[in-house]
Amino acid sequence: MKTIIPANYQDLISQASHYPDYSLPKAEDLLKHFGFKGLALHAQAPIFYVVDYVHQKYLFIDPSSKNLLGYDLDVITENGPLYYINLWHPNDLKIANAEIFPTIKQFLKKQSATVIPDLSFSFNYRVKANGGDYCSVIQRSTFYVHPTDNTPLAAVGFIMDISHFKDDTKITFTIEKVDRQFCSVTPAPLFKHSYYPEKAPGIFSRRELEILELIYRGKGTKQIANTLCIAENTVKNHRKNMLAKPKCSNTADLIAYAIRHGILEAGRLMLVNLIPGACALLDFETSFFQLM
């Protein structure tokens, strides 16, 4: 049977609904299946959940979810996962639908039934709380799949508030093998990728991206002008415009903004094609700004 990769989260749920007669284990059995101890959930900082994709409902949500999101538990459980996902920031949901959920399904279909319970899928996003503000959370899930085609039928996982640790909007998505031996050394993820939901390719012109990359390299106005064969006043005017567009107060803020939103990466790619000897510029050392 050919597996169709879902186009988005709604598609993933729709595919699961094709198995209405498939009997899922009870919530407590799913938790045990993945090694969770149900009696300890209320003492944990993460908010645990069990979601049934076949019937589009939550089988379990930790009551402490109200402390984080402000919604009564009944609101989320009665409206189901499609209601919850529409609370996500639109830009983050766009990334999840276009990139993350299809990757999850594609990865799962290649795995054996014995491996899947040991795979953990994690990514962060912003979700709107009842008061209207967005908080950043990390979601970590393990999937219960159909035995013939590995279609996700249910998931056990948790979300955790990471708002105090996030000062950017970058989304990091990982696929890891669960460490059931509790080794102190964390192995490298099987898959890892970062996305920039606030990335605005049109915010800077092509010339501005070139100048931005050279500023990042520590080049002064005269050096930039010589490299690009333009007047120093032109460099100064571009720098002024670049500061104004994202409303940055100084060059350090501008560089940090560009790194956090993935804009500088686009500029770096452009340099390879437009500036002679640009490949040498790509081999640069870790700088202060990379650590911000």
Residue 257: HSE in the Cβ half-sphere, 13 Å Cα cutoff? 18
Is 70 exceeded by the pLDDT of residue 258? yes
Is 70 exceeded by the pLDDT of residue 279? no
Within a domain: 2: no
131/207 Cα distance (integer angstroms)? 42
Span 205-218, mean pLDDT? 92
Span 110-133, mean pLDDT? 95
Within a domain: 157: yes
Within a domain: 35: yes
Within a domain: 265: yes
Rg, the chain, Cα only: 23
User: Would you place residue 53 in the very low, low, confident or very high pLDDT band (cuts 50, 70, 90)?
Assistant: very high
> Which of 147, 162, 195 is where one domain is finished?
195
The closest of 107, 137, 110, 136 to 121, measured between CA atoms, is: 107
**286 shares a domain with 171:** no
Could you tell me the residue range of the domain that residue 14 belongs to? 9-195
Is 90 exceeded by the pLDDT of residue 224? yes
85/242 Cα distance (integer angstroms)? 35
- 220 versus 2: the higher-pLDDT residue is 220
Cβ count near 61 (within 10 Å):
19
Secondary-structure percent of the chain, ordered helix, strand, coil, rounded to 5: 45, 20, 40
**213 shares a domain with 98:** no
Predicted local confidence at residue 128, as pLDDT: 97
> Which of 172, 195, 218 is where one domain is finished?
195
E-state strands within 40-107: 47-52, 57-61
**Is residue 197 a contact partner of residue 169, using CB atoms and an 8 Å limit?**
yes
Span 193-203, mean pLDDT? 79
Predicted local confidence at residue 257, as pLDDT: 87
Q: Is 74 helix (H, G, I), strand (E, B) or coil?
A: helix
Within a domain: 246: yes
Predicted local confidence at residue 113, as pLDDT: 87
Give me the number of domains the chain comprises: 2
Structure tokens at 222: 């005269």
> For residue range 171-191, what is the model confidence (pLDDT) as tens digits?
999 999 987 666 656 789 999
Tokens 């911000």, residue located: 292
CATH code for the domain of 225: 1.10.10.10
**Is residue 172 a contact partner of residue 123, using CB atoms and an 8 Å limit?**
yes
Predicted local confidence at residue 173, as pLDDT: 98
